[in-house]
Amino acid sequence: MVKKIFFGFLILCGIGLVIFIAYVLMIFSALGGFDKDYSVTELKENFANKRTEIYEVKAYINKIVPSNKLVHIEFEDDNTLGIFHLKVGDNFESNWDVEIESGKADTLLQKLGWTKETLKTLKNKLDKANCIGITSGEPCNISFQRSGFGMYSFNVFDKPIPDSLKVRYNDSCNYIMVNRKVVLEYGGGAIGSQCFYNKE
């Protein structure tokens, strides 16, 4: 009887340990533990190698988004938009995990005067730039890659950054200025590091 209770206790402890380890691994993964952290050098190299493609996708998004609207879009894959936020005037609409073949996507595309072919062209241009998302406007923010909840991106300006904004866009935490028209950005999301992890 005592042996049965003892073995039952051991089994329960084993199950509890497995559940705990699975929970820790899940949290670790969500924080980017299994995702690659990108260095400042890697971002600079990608920008240098894909400069033409990055400027092409910037020009394209600002051409297809009406002047009174702002779009933040991120492709999860060919079928899903992880983010499809839309701002019209003062009205901001958050949209997460939007299937491209869905009524929700159709409604958002209609608001912009886009078609699914527009999305396909945008995705193709982002792929060529080795990027996953973009936010229209000035500066144009082009999402490079995610690491957990964090996002690495490029802020690309049409004109040189004025002296009054240099401190803001070169704080060595969220922003690192490459030159007067290009600023690297890292946003850590709700949890995790809020600054560039590797500044080399």
144 sits in which H/E element: strand 140-147
Structure-block tokens of residue 124: 């193709």
For residues 40 and 198, the answer to whether their CB atoms sit within 8 Å is yes
Q: Which residue has the tokens 């070169």?
A: 170
Pairing of strands 140-147, 91-93: unpaired
Please choose, from the candidates 101, 126, 125, the residue with its C-alpha nearest in 3D space to the C-alpha of residue 115: 101
Question: 38-72 pLDDT, tens per residue?
Answer: 999 999 999 999 999 999 999 999 999 998 999 99
pTM of the model: 0.81
Q: Tell me the Cα Rg of the chain.
A: 22
pLDDT, tens only, 97-120: 999 999 999 999 999 999 999 999
Query: Tokens 């995705």 sit at which residue?
Result: 123
Q: How far is CA 124 from CA 5, 157, 193, in A?
A: 62, 22, 31
What are the tens digits of pLDDT across the range 7-16? 666 676 567 5
- Strand 69-75 vs strand 150-156: parallel, antiparallel, or unpaired? unpaired
In this structure, what DSSP letter does residue 26 have?
Answer: H
Per-residue pLDDT reduced to its tens digit, 130-164 = 999 999 999 999 999 999 889 999 999 999 999 99
